[in-house]
Amino acid sequence: MTLVQIGALALLGSFTGFAAGLLGIGGGMILVPFLTFLFSIYGFPTEVIVHVAIATSMATILFTSLSSVRAHHKRGAVRWDIVLAFAPGIVLGGLLGGGKLFAILKTSWLSFIFAGFVGFSAYQMLMNKKPKPSRTLPGKWGMLGAGGFIGFLSSLVGAGGGFVSVPFMTWCNVAMHNAVATSAALGFPIALASAIGYVIAGYGNPNLPAGSVGYVYLPALVCVAAASVLTAPLGAKVAHQLNVAQLKKVFALVLFCLAAYMLNKGLSTLGVY
């Protein structure tokens, strides 16, 4: 890798680390579009670009989430009871979504899945729909099922799950700041399960660039992770200084921009324009 490439990845890592701490999204939803763009410039084979971007993004969340959640935990914002209830389903869903299904999906479909669910999450946040006061988190089996869905979907799009878990928790009347902090903690089991699936699914693929372990591109992982762990605590600090309305608007606007980019990527891959 050139110094310019290393610098670009480090800058990207710094930004996504800050966003991870601020929004509880693990940084993956920001990383995937930008890594897709950078890997296109690097000349990676078209058929694996989005796969490698998603897998590498998720692997970085292993490090970013630990840095982010440490900062949130110091402020007593993480709901560990929710983390423990979600975790079993998240691990199962992450292993399933990051395995064989991930490998056989085409780049265009991964782009559309990413754009669709991120756009929906942004809409829900921007509309700021108020949940019924009586609504609470579901019971044991409901949390298992919700965790499985979050883990499965997150592994398909390379995100830490915040784009689903934060709206879901606020819909169940979990305070916004607690939802963001708890989502940051959920990023680690999602990333761990998914990364294992990506490595297995990509093993032996001849189209992968040199330096890859499965679908995870190690040079980018190292550069992005090293920078992101330094800025995630700063993002967490800022999150606790913003009010709920501001935080939701920032979250929604970021998601809309990223959904638009990935929709464009999917359409261009299909040769629509």
Domain boundaries, the chain: 3-269
**CB-based contacts of 3-12 (< 8 A; 24+ apart in sequence):** 5/38, 5/42, 6/223, 8/38, 9/38, 9/219, 9/220, 9/223, 9/224, 9/227, 10/223, 10/224, 10/226, 10/227, 11/227, 12/38, 12/224, 12/227
Of the candidates 117, 129, 107, the one whose C-alpha atom is nearest the C-alpha of residue 28 is 117
- Cα 141 to chain center, whole Å? 24
pLDDT tens digits, 55-71: 898 888 888 777 777 87
DSSP class per residue in 163-198: HHHHHHHHHTT--HHHHHHHHHHHHHHHHHHHHHHH
pLDDT tens digits, 207-261: 898 889 999 999 999 998 888 878 877 877 777 776 666 666 777 787 787 778 7
How far the first Cα of the chain sits from its last, in Å, is 31
- Evaluate the CA torsion angle 179, 180, 182, 187 in order and state its sign: positive
CA dist 13 and 37 (Å) reads 15
At position 21, the amino acid (one-letter code) is G
The SS3 assignment for 212 reads strand
- What percent of the chain is modeled with pLDDT above 90? 6
- Cα 105 to chain center, whole Å? 18
pLDDT tens digits, 112-149: 877 787 787 677 667 766 656 667 888 888 888 888 88
* HSE of 20, CA atoms in CB hemisphere, 13 A: 41
* pLDDT higher than 70, residue 169: yes
The pair phi, psi for residue 105, each rounded to 5°, is: -70, 135
